[in-house]
Structure 1
Amino acid sequence: MKHADIKMAAEALFNERHNPLGAFSLGSETHRAVTIPDAVRRCRWIAVDINASAFGLFFVSPSPERARLVPCFDSDYPGVAVSTKFISGSNGEEMVHHTRDSTEPRWWTDDGSAAMNAMFGKLAWTGPMAPLAPGTSGIAFPVHADRGQCGLVVFTGSEIILKQDLLYEVHARCFSLFAAVARIRPSDAGRAHTISKRELECLKLTANGHTSEQIARTLKLSVHTANQYLTQSTQKLNAVNRNQAVAKALRLGLID
């Protein structure tokens, strides 16, 4: 089932029910750009509705070299939860590939709760996965937005309550929330797709403190060519200088 079909089906179901975000539709207030604090508040409402103890929203990095989940916020906002560090690390790599191709939610149980395992196992159109964060139970909802952006909304907790009809409703709300957050930063994610492998190599070396001359020697380029790659990547990231370009590339997960 394509994610567009899921959005349409979820929208029809969701509009029939009362919810704190109002009616879900692509033209509604819930789809328009919001502030991050407002998005955190909306995600917390969803977590309360399914009795989850924690949550997080992640973007899939557009990096052609490394697949990873880039955290936008979590339930410890403005701080960062420990579980987020696991999810945005190697634990999330398998889920990145799944999210790019599918909208099927995935769940895991790693806290010894037989009840959680039984509840998730009864849900249709979901599948089990390796734990995103050790010692937890949770469910991850793949979400998509305009300009090819995709991501994940994750809920964790040992007492999550989620029935089949609520599963579709929650997924619809996650789509709406992600679309609103994606509108805050569409230009960065869109531009990142156009950066070449060589430009990323130059940015990464710059991040490690290398000068243009050192980059040229390392990559066997002329200094002029190395500077040209850095200038091009700076322009593509809409940065004012190479230092800001490095900062943006790090934030987007293009380099590490």
Structure 2
Amino acid sequence: MKDTKGKNDTAKRQGRPVSRADFFPRLVAMQRFAHARNFAVFKTNNSGLPSRRKLTCIIDNFASDGDVAASEILDHYSQALLDHLEISSLPLLWNGVEASQTAETTDFAGFVKHIKPNVLPVSGVAFPVRLGGMGNGYTVFVANYFDLTSEAVVDLHDRSHQLMMDLLVLDERRSAPDEVLSSREISCLQLAGDGLVSEEVAEKLRLSVHTVNAYLAAATMKLDSVNRIQAIAKAIRLGYIA
């Protein structure tokens, strides 16, 4: 059986998030930096067919009694967000009705794209992240009024990218196979990841080449990978090796 508590303890010691709740402080910090009112994280469903792709909200802090909800953003802008995600990595911006506007500085225009305004009673900015599959999505911030510089937009986009990468790693850890990698499997993966061939790994660990290959094959299977290279990459993302 999977040692979930042990993995969570290891992740905590290494400073990695163990649940989506761990992302709230980072999002709140980004919200304050943007002088925003609310935030949301949208992710794609990883459907192979464009017509079946959709965005779902996985984290948000919109109040139930507020004048707009994360679901309303998806109701109005989901298709525009999905279409944009296919062709561009520029942030998307929309203006709300009446006094809900966005300041336009001289160095701002090249950093964003505008989508249909005057639909919701708040302005919004959405930062796209494309990591492939379930790593695709947006971090979204809304406010009555935005006054962001290009430097702030770039900074928020960079932090959005890192946040989505960490979310992807968290999801991969959750979907990892039940068996936990053994210390020998981890050692073999680490040395293989350092560029050593099986014979060199065997010499380092004082094992036979056959045993090293058996450990690497077992680790590859446990990590649900198609080959050793993919297993090493996944082990790095999951924090098994450096």
> TM-score by structure 2 length?
0.56
Instruction: Tell me how far apart the structure 1 counterparts of residues 60 and 163 of structure 2 sit (CA, whole Å).
Output: 13
Aligned residue type for 1:37: A
C-alpha contact (below 8 Å) 1:71/1:84 kept by paired residues? yes
C-alpha distance after superposition, 1:16-63 (max 9, x if no partner): xxxxxxxxxxxxx78x44421121221111010110001100102223
Distance 1:175 1:80, change over 3 A: farther
Q: Secondary structure at the match of 2:40?
A: strand
Q: Which position in structure 2 is the counterpart of 1:175? A: 161
Alignment of 1:23-102 (within 5 A): 32-63=16-47, 64=49, 65-76=51-62, 82-89=68-75, 91-102=77-88
Q: Which position in structure 2 is the counterpart of 1:144? A: 130
Question: Of 105, 109, 118, which aligns to 2:104?
Answer: 118
Question: Of 154, 160, 164, which aligns to 2:140?
Answer: 154
Aligned residue type for 2:36: A
Q: Which has the higher contact order (CA 8 A, sep 6+)?
A: 1
C-alpha displacement of 1:113 = 3.1
Distance 1:147 1:120, change over 3 A: farther
C-alpha contact (below 8 Å) 2:45/2:56 kept by paired residues? yes
Aligned residue type for 2:125: I
Instruction: Tell me how far apart the structure 2 counterparts of residues 60 and 42 of structure 1 sit (CA, whole Å).
Output: 21
C-alpha displacement of 1:136 = 1.3
Aligned residue type for 2:45: S
C-alpha distance after superposition, 1:195-218 (max 9, x if no partner): xxxxxxxxxxxxxxxxxxxxxxxx
Asked if residue 184 in structure 1 is aligned to residue 160 in structure 2, the reply is: no
Asked if residue 109 in structure 1 is aligned to residue 109 in structure 2, the reply is: no
> TM-score by structure 1 length?
0.53
C-alpha contact (below 8 Å) 1:58/1:153 kept by paired residues? yes
Larger Rg: 2
Q: Secondary structure at the match of 2:36?
A: coil
C-alpha contact (below 8 Å) 1:147/1:186 kept by paired residues? no
Q: Secondary structure at the match of 2:46?
A: coil
Aligned-pair Cα RMSD in Å? 3.2
Q: Secondary structure at the match of 1:97?
A: helix
Distance 1:94 1:132, change over 3 A: farther
**Amino-acid identity (%):** 19
Aligned length: 160
C-alpha displacement of 1:67 = 3.0
Instruction: Tell me how far apart the structure 1 counterparts of residues 156 and 88 of structure 2 sit (CA, whole Å).
Output: 17
